[in-house]
Amino acid sequence: MKKTILISSIVISASLLQGCSELITLVDNCPIPSKDQAQDEFLLLQDGITLKCQIKKYTLTPCIDIRDSEGTEGLVCRDGERQVLLLFDDKGILKGQATVK
């Protein structure tokens, strides 16, 4: 009886861990910026290249998600005294940026 319980516990634990690894893959589904996208260990914001997930994951700059009435997604990020508005296409690729006063 104890062997049956132990084997069942191992099977259940293994299946739970497998589910967690799939969840981690989905959550971390953001490519690491290439060397061309970084300068002195800082992410360079490049229209048509930089992804929204990269800005949120690989920078320490606090950002707020926004969306306009037409569904365009963006971020408002504060870098010291300066605020930057970043707009993304429907695939999450940076399409424009502007400094907000």
pLDDT in tens, 7-52: 333 333 344 444 443 333 333 688 888 888 888 878 899 999 999 9
Residue 98: pLDDT band with limits 50, 70, 90: very high
User: Which residue is listed with tokens 């099977």?
Assistant: 11
pLDDT in tens, 47-87: 999 999 999 888 888 999 999 998 889 999 997 888 999 99
| DSSP code string of 47-59 | TTT-BHHHHHHH-
| pLDDT at residue 21 in the model | 39
DSSP state of 22: H
pLDDT above 60 for 6: no
Domain ranges of the chain: 1-30, 33-100
